[in-house]
Structure 1
Amino acid sequence: MEENVDHRVPVLIVGGSLVGLSTSVFLGRHGVRHLLVEKHSGTSMHPRGRGNNVRTMELFRGAEVEEDIRQAASVLAANHGILQAGSLTGDDQEWLFKEIDPGGGLARFSPTTWCLCSQNDLEPVLLSRATAQGGDIRFSTELLSFEQDPAGVMAVLKNRDTGEHSTVRADYLVAADGPRSPVREQLRIGQTGNGDLFHNVSIAFRSQQLMDVVGDRRFIVCYLTNPEADGALLPVDNQELWVFHAPWHPDQGEALEDFTDERCAEHIRKAAGAPDLDIEITGKAPWHAAERVAGSYSSGRVFLAGDSAHEMSPTGAFGSNTGIQDAHNLAWKLALVLNGSAGPGLLETYDAERRPVARATSERASSRSAEHSHPGYAPAVTPGGGRRGGILSVAMGYGYLHGAVLGVDPDRPVVPERMELKGAPGTRAPHMWVGGPTGRMSTLDLYERSFVLLSAAGTAWRAAARRVAERLSAPLDAYAIGAGPDADLVPEGDGDWAAMHGTTPEGALLVRPDGFVAWRSPGAVQDPEATLHAAMSTLLSRA
């Protein structure tokens, strides 16, 4: 088998949409050589999946691609809020919320914020960064089959342009191949959840007059509730390019072919309340909202990420964000196992951490669709047992109860009712502005390629961390925080780093490469080096 291999690579990524390309970017940041194959000929042409939440933007910030994304998204930078209306011209209008971050309160939690960047604009940015980092990205290339053994995965690929077949030997395979994932099917991994929720047809169209009808209402989306022509209107450029999501009922015998250009145009006019609106249909794409989570995120050396692992209702844009965060969680773990810093047991924590988050998030997405009366969705009861946690808690307040974390409160919910980021193990580490070697920075900017130990200047923790890093040959950086000459980081203003991180000036906080707290010591210990060595060994599956 090995004699006939055309390519050898540590990681093979199947699927080149948002999650696959994000996986490539994150692996590239860790220097992991990889091959990505995508059966389509290029990135997405349809404007969809636009909502990138604050946690996702933190990850893109760490990957130094945030500014490029915001530049690609600049046309929608002033759009905020969700409007619900009987039409665009009537009096029946209500803002479900008008600002994503009213009062600017999000600045307490993060150095960045949300970003509206449609998939067709975001994917080229990720592709450019992935290739610049050395990623081998091949479009029009399809995975035909794969087999795995204890040492790796053998895959057969097909170039859809030439028909040529080739074989790839990889240490690991990441399947980001969508909700109908052939990889998941071959692995016979089942799914749980409420299944199909509703169906829509996404209609891209051009209209120069609609801008005048919309006026100064710069919404993210407007739910139009005319019972004879409901749907969701989304601006693409706030001028002449728009998308309309129209309900589709295949269970009632309605075929996709029934959505002719004429029917779609009349539906949009009636929904908008503008019977003479100029409309040119430029594209149509069906999509299906569902609530499903895979029964396992891995099998042997194959891992699921994104829609192959979970499907969610689009309300709140949780699906793509959860998938990108899957990719980030998996990438640093693959990097540490491949370079020998961690044992293979670290990869088992991917399922333990990410699957409970997907279950909780998918339930919240379905509930949010019910709350917003998403066109085409009329549940008999609110799914998921009702509301748990606001959108910010779901987006960035979630926690890991099991996995590569130590000392987690077992009674803590995966998604809390209230957003609290106070340094508890299993939660995203707090954001705090500090003065560092390169000037003003957020503590979140420290976390990406290594574990990081934070402690007060003058304690023994920093020296202990350096010795542990040498003993384990593991990526572990240490920073002393304070105001004296021995400090690496100086808190801005009167910031109390220890109180903010839930410890004391004699304690320490160990943060993972993804910014989640791995372990915390509330105070001084008798032997910092031995204590930290034991924690790191366990976290890296080397104990």
Structure 2
Amino acid sequence: MQGHTVSTDVLIAGGGSVGLMLAVLLRHHGVKPLVVEEKPELSHHPRANGIGLRSVEILREVGLEEAVNEAAVDLRAGKIRGRTLAEADFTEGVAWKTRGAAELTYTPARIRGTCAQNRFDRVLITKAGDVEFGVALDSFEQDADGVTATLSDGRVVRARYLVAADGVRSLVRQILGIGLTGPGAIGQETTSVLFGAELRPRKPFAMCDIEHPDATGLLVTVDGEREWVFLTPLDTEPTPELIRTALGDPSIEVEIRSVLTFRGRGQVADRLSVGRVFLVGDAAHAIPPLGAFGLNTGIADAHNLAWKLAYVLRGEAGPELLETYHAERHPVALMTMEQARLRFNDPSLHWGKDMAEARKAAGAINAPVVHMGYRYGGAELPSTEDVALDLDGSPGSRLPHMWVADGVSTLDLVGSRWCVLTADPGVEADVPVHVVDGWPYGTVLVRPDGFVSRSYG
């Protein structure tokens, strides 16, 4: 293939979860990107497993909500703890999970539990289009009309835009010379052990803090039956015996399938775009792990960028629209990194009950607000605790959810295009107008990504 040249509107460097999500969203908007991923296949070792409700709303938009829900693991005991899994107290997790599910009046999204990243990726790739594994981006140059990239197999790609989804050590970011803001590496190095074992827990659970002195760590559900991850800070060779100690069952058969080591990082790129090149996901920001904010922030990056690229590529908007990507997503990334850092230092801010006052004193924001209560444009939030108060139809906020028919939300009415929502049947506009009985938020102009652009009272 040496010297062979191909053309595409958008080249995505990186075929992890965020790169695949961007490809799905671009295709949803009528753009067919090319994704290249240096790994030979989808990763089997999940690095994340918490799909937030805002991400589920985005999956709903592209018709993947049910598929991801099927891939998720049914849970009734969120986060539990015990000296070993056999000694864990499942009752505390049940109360936490049940209370959370009862309060979801602000979103149409539902997910029955956690969805490990490897299972999530297998859903995304069904709608991602052209994804080439075992191929890396080696170098690129950009000019006024596009980007010329050289791939590891010798091909040259001419693209109108390049998007870097190539991870925390992004080559694209390094070539662009973009600096980083944040504390960098935090905490101690952690070993992640993917293993197989036939477990029969009393109830399904998302994760379990293991407090045994010889096997301290966090046991994480992958499929809830045969596949699990054990995260441990112990500086020791992971063995089946270590896993059996954590499980509290010396007789169980354990197969170690993969071992990774990592250390949490907190960093945000100083620029999320340079010319025709954009950063998304870990290439744009590394979020400390507590809170499940990292992957979900990357999905929101892709959602923000995809419609803008599509509108510019179709000639329905000028290139200045793409300048808003950095302006909108950079403050969100900084806020999210700081919120994860606060939780990393004090996990009770995230997992504890009745922690509103403690969060206020620490400058922490309640997790649902971090996930979907933020606003573009820098306006102050009405509440750092109750996300429903933040979704009030104000410009820059995500459109309020109301059920308008059986199974149909106001978010569904947007349909990935500009539209107006109103209670006034006399409103006319150059975009679709949806008249919603009982709509209390005045007349609002809504962007294709479901954020309010203008409010007319």
Scaled by the length of structure 1, what TM-score is found? 0.76
Who is 1:434 aligned against?
404
- Are residues 247 and 287 of structure 1, via their aligned partners in 2, closer, same or farther at CA, if it must alter by over 3 Å? same
- 1:436-451 alignment runs, 5 A limit: 440-451=407-418
Q: 1:477 aligns with which of 401, 413, 432?
A: 432
Q: Which range moved further: 121-130 or 16-25? A: 121-130
- 1:360-439 alignment runs, 5 A limit: 360-372=335-347, 386-401=362-377, 410-412=379-381, 416-419=384-387, 420=389, 421-435=391-405
Work out the percentage of aligned pairs sharing the same amino acid. Answer: 41
- CA distance in structure 1 between the partners assigned to 2:270 and 2:316 by the alignment: 29
- Are residues 228 and 412 of structure 1, via their aligned partners in 2, closer, same or farther at CA, if it must alter by over 3 Å? same
Who is 1:237 aligned against?
223
Which is higher, the Rg of structure 1 or of structure 2?
1
Q: Which runs of 5+ in 1 are unaligned?
A: 160-164, 249-253, 375-381, 403-409, 467-475, 482-490, 523-543
1:203-250 deviation digits (Å, cap 9, x = unpaired): 112233x42xxx3132201111234431000123333322101115xx
- Are residues 8 and 207 of structure 1, via their aligned partners in 2, closer, same or farther at CA, if it must alter by over 3 Å? closer
Higher relative contact order (CA 8 A, sep 6+): 2
8 Å Cα contact 2:267-2:287 kept in structure 1: yes
- CA distance in structure 1 between the partners assigned to 2:369 and 2:134 by the alignment: 39
Q: Are 2:278 and 1:281 aligned?
A: no
- Are residues 372 and 103 of structure 1, via their aligned partners in 2, closer, same or farther at CA, if it must alter by over 3 Å? closer
- CA distance in structure 2 between the partners assigned to 1:424 and 1:180 by the alignment: 37
RMSD across aligned positions (CA): 2.5
- CA distance in structure 2 between the partners assigned to 1:331 and 1:351 by the alignment: 13
- 1:86-97 alignment runs, 5 A limit: 86-90=83-87, 95=92
Q: Are 2:450 and 1:515 aligned?
A: yes
- Are residues 270 and 343 of structure 1, via their aligned partners in 2, closer, same or farther at CA, if it must alter by over 3 Å? same
The letter of the residue matching 2:401 is H
- CA distance in structure 1 between the partners assigned to 2:167 and 2:296 by the alignment: 14
Q: Which range moved further: 76-85 or 145-154? A: 76-85
Who is 1:30 aligned against?
29
Who is 2:355 aligned against?
none
Q: CA deviation at 1:422?
A: 1.1
8 Å Cα contact 1:389-1:418 kept in structure 2: no
Q: CA deviation at 1:7?
A: 1.2
- CA distance in structure 1 between the partners assigned to 2:88 and 2:146 by the alignment: 62
Q: 1:148 aligns with which of 139, 142, 150?
A: 142
Q: CA deviation at 1:79?
A: 4.5
8 Å Cα contact 1:363-1:383 kept in structure 2: no
The letter of the residue matching 1:394 is V
8 Å Cα contact 2:182-2:268 kept in structure 1: yes
Secondary structure (helix, strand or coil) at the match of 1:24 reads: helix
- CA distance in structure 2 between the partners assigned to 1:512 and 1:5 by the alignment: 39
Who is 1:473 aligned against?
none
Q: Are 2:3 and 1:9 aligned?
A: no
Q: Which range moved further: 112-121 or 47-56? A: 112-121
- Are residues 15 and 91 of structure 1, via their aligned partners in 2, closer, same or farther at CA, if it must alter by over 3 Å? closer
Q: Which range moved further: 30-39 or 88-97? A: 88-97
Secondary structure (helix, strand or coil) at the match of 1:67 reads: helix
Q: 1:112 aligns with which of 89, 109, 112?
A: 109
The letter of the residue matching 2:135 is T
- Are residues 153 and 344 of structure 1, via their aligned partners in 2, closer, same or farther at CA, if it must alter by over 3 Å? same
Q: 2:119 aligns with which of 118, 121, 126?
A: 121
The letter of the residue matching 1:336 is Y
1:256-283 deviation digits (Å, cap 9, x = unpaired): xx52xxx433333333444454322222
Q: Which range moved further: 420-429 or 101-110? A: 101-110
8 Å Cα contact 1:330-1:347 kept in structure 2: yes
Q: Are 2:167 and 1:178 aligned?
A: yes
Q: CA deviation at 1:427?
A: 0.7
The letter of the residue matching 2:169 is R
8 Å Cα contact 1:388-1:417 kept in structure 2: no
- CA distance in structure 1 between the partners assigned to 2:194 and 2:94 by the alignment: 25
- Are residues 170 and 384 of structure 1, via their aligned partners in 2, closer, same or farther at CA, if it must alter by over 3 Å? farther
8 Å Cα contact 2:77-2:92 kept in structure 1: no
Equivalent residue pairs, number: 443
Secondary structure (helix, strand or coil) at the match of 1:393 reads: helix
Secondary structure (helix, strand or coil) at the match of 2:157 reads: strand
8 Å Cα contact 2:83-2:210 kept in structure 1: yes
Secondary structure (helix, strand or coil) at the match of 2:224 reads: coil
Q: 2:179 aligns with which of 183, 190, 193?
A: 190
Q: Are 2:78 and 1:78 aligned?
A: no
The letter of the residue matching 1:371 is D
The letter of the residue matching 1:299 is V
1:282-301 deviation digits (Å, cap 9, x = unpaired): 22122221111111101111
Q: CA deviation at 1:121?
A: 1.2
8 Å Cα contact 2:16-2:121 kept in structure 1: yes
8 Å Cα contact 2:207-2:220 kept in structure 1: yes
- Are residues 89 and 68 of structure 1, via their aligned partners in 2, closer, same or farther at CA, if it must alter by over 3 Å? closer
The letter of the residue matching 1:416 is T
- CA distance in structure 1 between the partners assigned to 2:454 and 2:321 by the alignment: 15
- CA distance in structure 1 between the partners assigned to 2:205 and 2:32 by the alignment: 41
Secondary structure (helix, strand or coil) at the match of 2:260 reads: strand
- Are residues 341 and 324 of structure 1, via their aligned partners in 2, closer, same or farther at CA, if it must alter by over 3 Å? same
Q: Are 2:197 and 1:207 aligned?
A: yes
The letter of the residue matching 2:32 is R
Secondary structure (helix, strand or coil) at the match of 2:295 reads: helix
- CA distance in structure 2 between the partners assigned to 1:365 and 1:52 by the alignment: 16
Q: CA deviation at 1:89?
A: 4.1
8 Å Cα contact 2:61-2:416 kept in structure 1: no
Who is 2:133 aligned against?
139
- Are residues 371 and 272 of structure 1, via their aligned partners in 2, closer, same or farther at CA, if it must alter by over 3 Å? farther
1:415-435 deviation digits (Å, cap 9, x = unpaired): 834312111111111111113
The letter of the residue matching 2:447 is R
Who is 2:352 aligned against?
none
1:423-460 deviation digits (Å, cap 9, x = unpaired): 1111111111113xxx651110022421111123432x
Q: Which runs of 5+ in 2 are unaligned?
A: 350-357
- CA distance in structure 2 between the partners assigned to 1:30 and 1:270 by the alignment: 50
- 1:353-364 alignment runs, 5 A limit: 353-364=328-339
- CA distance in structure 2 between the partners assigned to 1:103 and 1:151 by the alignment: 49
8 Å Cα contact 2:115-2:222 kept in structure 1: no
- Are residues 328 and 101 of structure 1, via their aligned partners in 2, closer, same or farther at CA, if it must alter by over 3 Å? farther
Who is 1:296 aligned against?
271
8 Å Cα contact 2:37-2:132 kept in structure 1: yes
